[in-house]
Structure 1
Amino acid sequence: MDIKEKIKNLPDSPGVYILKDGEGKAIYIGKASSLRKRVTSHFSNVDSPKEEILQKKTIDIEYIPTTTEAEALLWEAALIKEKQPPYNINYRDDKSFPFLKISIEEKFPRVFIGRGKEEKDVLYFGPYSNVRLLKEALKMVRKIFPFRSCRILPKKSCLYYSLKLCPGPCIGKISEEDYRETIHNICLLLEGKKEELEKELMKKMEEKARAQNFEEAAQIRDRLKGLAQLKTLRFGIETVLQELKDVLGLEKVPYRIEAFDLSHLSGKEAVGAMVSFYKGIPDKNNYRRFKIKLSDSFDDFSMLREVIFRRFRRLREEKEEFPDLVLIDGGKAHLEIAYRELNKLGISLEMIALEKGEEKIYTLKKKIILPLDSHILQFLRRIRDEAHRFAITYHKKLHQKTLLKSELDEIKGIGEKRKKALFEYFGSLEEIKKASIEDLAKVKGMNRKIAAHLWQVLRDEREND
């Protein structure tokens, strides 16, 4: 595949790209919000001697997809430091670029952003090319590994502790040893050693579980989940998809993957959701939502039958392209039901199920168990978790609409805006009924006259019950 073809196949999404010479050495590394557009710009114009040299010397292009441009910024800096490409000359002017700094000599090291490398006893990461993106990236890291950012330790906890973005060393909520371990984990992540970090955490989680420290094991599990949301650094998506094809025994590489999940509350507001990934990237224009309406019973199997039938009947009728792989959130029984619905439609597709908990992968013929730190399993889990998030979001939206349909609908002076404000303030109809006139009047959009009228109507209803 020549350079032009490779550029054409790059995704229109965030990531890091590596331009390589004939010996396979990195000559330039960059980040982009759109890999395809950014790399194309290197080869469409010759604005400088450097661009001309890059065009002549580039023989191959490697890329690493990321969730956001901010995440790409972290990987870009780590790769530049590791590979030292000769044409990333701007980064040699350390004074003009921001660094991520860790005050490593403090008892509880502070993590912060600053320029220059004048401070002593500080560990530096970078430089980074964009301070705004660096702040975004640091927010992502902090959600996984909470850290201290204040200049001086206060005597009481701050907002970051309340938001679970700081472990609270100022009030003795974390030991020095445990905090140092968090800093070590952050350093591994910033150095691009994500796989090493995941292996360390996996080992630690297993040790905690064996010792029956289940709360601590769960905390480590949550951190592993957070890391899984960051796309794999060392494995390009093409590699992951090729290995997925081999592991599952597919006939072709599964570039287009559709995943299904269900959500309901005791059968109420039952919904299905489908997400679509193309070449490892969420294709949100092709996400679909299904309000369950045909099933007599709202069990998972009935709901799954309806969603699969409706989705693929429509694709067949509209002569749309079918996905290369279908992922079902569930076990072997769910997979078999989905296959039966496809058979009714006369459609043959590659399909797997991914079971929560032990994370077993099912095909019709076999069960596959991959290591929990496998990049293939992490990739599938990320797709499944996105389907789950999409389903839950849709279910909550419908549930909120149902909550707003209440006894308040017929009360004069209580329109949609006031009704919504009342539910947001009190949380439920029962709490609204218990409220005094003074409390009702405090709600946004209410006044004492309307509050008194509402209180009177609700009191009359209570007395008539």
Structure 2
Amino acid sequence: MDIAKRIKEAPLSPGVYMMKNRGGEVIYVGKASSLRKRLEGHYHAYRKQSAAKDALLYNTSRIDWIVTSHEAEALILEAGLIKKYKPSFNISLKDDKSFPYIKVTTDEEYPRLLLTRNKAGDPASYYGPYTDVKLLKAALAFLRKIFPLRACRRMPKKECLDFHIGQCLAPCIGKVDKPVYVEKIRELCLFLGGEKERLISELNKKMARLSKDGKFEEAALARDQIAGLTNIVEKYRNLDVKDELSVLKDMLGLPCIPNRIEAFDISNISGRQSVGSMVMFLDGKPYKNHYRRFRIKGIAGIDDYSMIRQIVMRRYGGTLKSKLSMPDLIVIDGGKGHISCAFSELEKLGIKDIPIIGIAKQFERLYLLKRKEPLIPPLSSGALHLIQRIRDEAHRFALRYHLLLRSKVQQASELDTIPGVGPKKKSALIKRFGSIDEIKKAPLDELIGVKGLDRRTAMFIRGHFRGKRIRNS
């Protein structure tokens, strides 16, 4: 590779760059606010010095990069890639005591997330080192949006600004139960320790469980965490995705590399608010413009097979057929019965050349139409991990829609019992406050400010949620 030419191709955007030697091994990972300017800096320094003095660029045969939305995200990605590849030219940082670390205390009732330069011999968990203090502070603020944990040295007697901007769960005033807070600390440590895939998988299961139990606010918090983490993880996952797609082609015996993959899933609880989802991955990456969700029509109770038939027919036989290109591979969340149902619907439409596979949750086995026994890839297989990510994304998208519908039903039914609140007022309340919980907390003057609500109706609403009876005279 012509390194000088490659550097000129680099964007001016923030991101992370990786220098590789002739054997393809990553020897250095760096971050930059402008990738091209940083790489040009490396190159100019190399031209001015002898090869012996600049061993890094002398040993570099290839440069790759990942563009990020801002430099703070690049810092987090850089740390993850250094942990993954252990580049020889980054290791020297470990011995430098002047660089800062992320510290998670473990000897406090409600542990803290903070920045420190002193890696003391205490029981805390340390992550790093990092090379840029200013940028690390920005990265910590970014992390606190996903993991809203306390940073205060002493717990105050009332909530601070961090709580109001969504960067702390406010254990100081009892806004969060201790087990929930401790779980957030465990999740943060998984993330900082490089277990991002495992954490996202755990959060997907947690969101499903909370939704089933009717804990919609906690489920929504898990959903937001998944969204934030997925955005980070996708950035450096793309490094290996071409290899994963090639291996997947060979493993499944596909006629071509499956650059366009569509996956389907069903979500319901006891057959209520049944929905289906379709997600699309292009070149191994989510392509959300082509995501679709389906509200199941005319099917009562739990009947996954009929629901799969319906959403496959609606995708490939309805108006979407002309709007979206055909995929190279279809993935169904389920076993042999599920893919057989999908195939029979495609046959009715005269579509016979799109491969279909199913993936069963319990043992992560792959089901193919022409194979009697399921395919059991190694758990370390990158191709399997790709299919799992696509399956999990279809599940998350379906569950999110199901959660939305259930929440609307719950909100509507609770407001329906209040005298004087009809469809228009109900809609105005939800639009103004967003959720039943926010309506419950709203003071009287804010309720009166809602379009269409008079003082008496506002008092009925406030009294309803506070257990007070208002005489209707």
CA distance in 2, matches of 1:56, 1:391: 50
Q: Which moved more, 1:232-241 or 1:155-164?
A: 155-164
* Residue 360 (structure 1) aligns with: 365
Distance in structure 2 (CA, Å) of the matches to 1:332 and 1:4 = 53
Tell me how large the CA RMSD over aligned residues is. 5.7
Deviation, 1:398, is 4.1
TM norm structure 1: 0.61
Q: TM-score, normalising length from structure 2?
A: 0.61
Q: 1:93 to 1:352 in 2, by over 3 A?
A: same
Q: Which amino acid is 1:113 matched to?
A: L
Conserved? CA contact 1:271–1:395, under 8 Å: yes
In structure 2, what is the equivalent of residue 49 of structure 1? 44
Alignment partner of 1:127 is 2:130: yes
The question of whether the paired residues in 1 share the 8 Å contact of 2:314 and 2:320 is answered with no
**Structure 1 match to 2:114:** 113
The amino acid that maps onto 1:272 is G
Which of 50, 75, 78 does residue 76 from structure 1 map onto? 78
Of the candidates 346, 352, 355, which is equivalent to residue 350 of structure 1? 355
What does the per-residue CA deviation read over 1:8-46, in whole Å, with 9 as the maximum and x for residues that have no partner?
9999x998541223354545423589xxxx766777x67
Change (3 A) 1:327 1:412: closer
The residue aligned with 1:162 is 177
Please identify, of 63-72 and 329-338, the stretch whose mean Cα deviation from structure 2 is larger.
63-72
In 1, Cα distance between the equivalents of 2:421 and 2:246? 60
Partner of 1:387: 394
CA distance in 2: counterparts of 1:379 and 1:274, whole angstroms = 16
1:265 Cα offset (Å): 5.2
**Aligned residue for 1:212?**
none
Q: Cα deviation per residue 1:134-168 (whole Å; 9 max; x = unaligned)?
A: 4434765x59xxx9866469999645852756439
1:39/1:422 CA distance change after superposition, 3 Å: closer
> CA distance change for structure 1 residues 337 and 127 in 2, over 3 Å: closer, same or farther?
same
Q: 1:101 aligns with which of 81, 103, 126?
A: 103
The answer to whether the Cα contact below 8 Å between 2:4 and 2:43 also exists between their aligned partners in 1 is no
SS at match of 2:19: strand
Deviations 1:343-392 (A, max 9, x none): 22222112111122333221111402345565444432222222122122
Partner of 1:330: 334
Cα 1:426–1:117, aligned 2, differ >3 Å: closer, same or farther?
closer
Aligned to 2:142: 136
Give 3-state SS (helix, strand or coil) of 1:167's partner. Answer: helix
Unaligned runs of 5+ in 1: 169-178, 202-221, 432-437, 456-465
1:115-264 equivalence runs, <5 A: 115-117=116-118, 123=126, 125-129=128-132, 130-131=135-136, 132-137=138-143, 151=153, 158=172, 162=177, 164=179, 166-167=181-182, 186=189, 190=192, 192=194, 230=233, 236-264=240-268
Decide whether aligned partners of structure 1 residues 319 and 135 sit closer, same or farther in structure 2, where only a CA change above 3 A counts. Answer: closer
Partner of 2:163: none
Q: Secondary structure of 1:83's match?
A: coil
Q: Judging changes above 3 Å, is the alpha-carbon distance between structure 1 residues 235 and 392 closer, same or farther for their aligned structure 2 residues?
A: same
Q: Which amino acid aligns with 2:182?
A: P
CA contact (8 A) 1:441 1:448 kept: no
Contact conserved, 1:361 with 1:368, CA < 8 A, in 2?
Answer: yes
Letter in 2 for 1:416: S
TM superposition shift of 1:448: 3.7
Instruction: State the match for 1:289 in structure 2.
Output: 293
Which whole-Å CA distance do the structure 1 matches of 2:120 and 2:254 have between them?
55
Which sits farther off after the overlay, 352-361 or 75-84? 75-84
Match of 1:417 in 2: 428
Kindly indicate whether the alpha-carbon contact (under 8 Å) linking 2:276 and 2:295 is maintained by their aligned counterparts in 1: yes
Counterpart selection for 2:61 from 55, 59, 62: 59
Between 130-139 and 270-279, report the one with greater CA deviation: 130-139
Whole-angstrom CA distance in 1 between matches of 2:374 and 2:25: 40
Q: Deviations over 1:58-113 (max 9, x none)?
A: 53245689999867634523554732437x99999975x64213568x68896643
**Aligned equivalents of 1:108 and 1:296: distance in 2?**
48
Shift of 1:420: 6.4
Once the two structures are overlaid, the 10-residue window that deviates more, 374-383 or 410-419, is 410-419
Q: What letter corresponds to residue 256 of structure 1 in structure 2?
A: R
- Residues 1:307 and 2:311 are matched in the alignment: yes
Letter in 2 for 1:384: R
For 1:410-444, what per-residue CA distance to the aligned partner results, in whole angstroms no more than 9, with x for missing partners?
9598463147679944899xx9xxxxxx9999787
Counterpart residue number, 1:172:
none
Closer/same/farther in 2, CA of residues 424 and 50 from structure 1, 3 Å limit? same
Over 3 Å counting, the alpha-carbon distance change for 1:14 and 1:440 in structure 2 is: same
Q: Does 1:369 align with 2:380?
A: no
Other-structure match for 2:471: none
DSSP 3-state at the match of 1:416: helix
| TM-aligned CA deviation for residue 272 of structure 1 | 2.0
Percent same amino acid among aligned pairs? 35
Give the distance between the partners of 2:270 and 2:95, measured in 1 at CA. 60
Q: CA 1:48–1:160 in structure 2 vs 1: closer, same or farther (change >3 Å)?
A: farther
Distance 1:331 1:71, change over 3 A: farther
Instruction: Name the SS for the 1:318 alignment partner.
Output: helix
Tell me how far 1:282 sits from its aligned partner: 1.4
Q: Which residue of 2 aligns with 1:207?
A: none
| Runs of at least 5 residues in structure 2 that lack an aligned partner in the other structure | 48-53, 158-169, 203-221, 463-473
In structure 1, give the amino acid aligned to 2:79.
A
2:182 aligned counterpart, secondary structure: coil
